[in-house]
Amino acid sequence: MKNETTTYRILIVDDNAAIHEDFRKIIETTRQNPSALGAAETALFGDQPAQDDFPRLELDSAFQGQEALERVIKARQEGRPYAMAFVDIRMPPGWDGIETIGHLWKEDPDLQIVICTAYSDYSWEDMRKRLGRTD
C-alpha cells in the first residue's frame, strides 16, 4: 500500500513578478531534477527516498500584503492553510512586509514566515518590537 503524499502550501508575497518566477524556478527545478547535491547525498548517505516519497509543494502568489491576507483567510476557510510564506519587506504602495506579517499572524498564528529583503528598512530590534519575539 502506497502512503499518501503530504502537500504543503507556500505563499510568495512580493510586488515583483520576477521574484515569484525565481521562487518557482528554484523550488520546481529542485523537485524535478536531482542535482549534484542529491548525488553527493546519495554517495555519502546511501539511497535517498524516491521522489514520490517527498512532500508535494503547492506555490501560490500574492503581489501585495492585502492580497496575501485575503489568500490566507480563504485558505483557512477551505481547510487548506499555508504552511509557509516568503514575505518581502518593501512592497509599495500598500502594506510593507512587517505590517503584512502582523496581519497574517493574526489570521493564522501557525504560519511560518521567511522574511525576504534586499534593504534594511528595519533592524532586528524594530521587527521584534512590531511583531514580538518569534522563532
Q: In whole angstroms, what is the distance from residue 94 CA to residue 15 CA? A: 10
C-alpha cell of residue 122:
528595519
pLDDT digits (tens, 9 = 90+) for 8-39: 999 999 999 999 999 988 887 655 545 556 66
pLDDT digits (tens, 9 = 90+) for 47-78: 655 555 567 889 999 999 999 999 999 999 99
The pLDDT mean for the chain works out to 83
Q: Report the top-level CATH class of 7-131.
A: alpha beta
Q: Where are the domains of the chain?
A: 7-131
Q: In whole angstroms, what is the distance from residue 88 CA to residue 100 CA? A: 9
Q: Is the pLDDT of residue 107 over 50?
A: yes
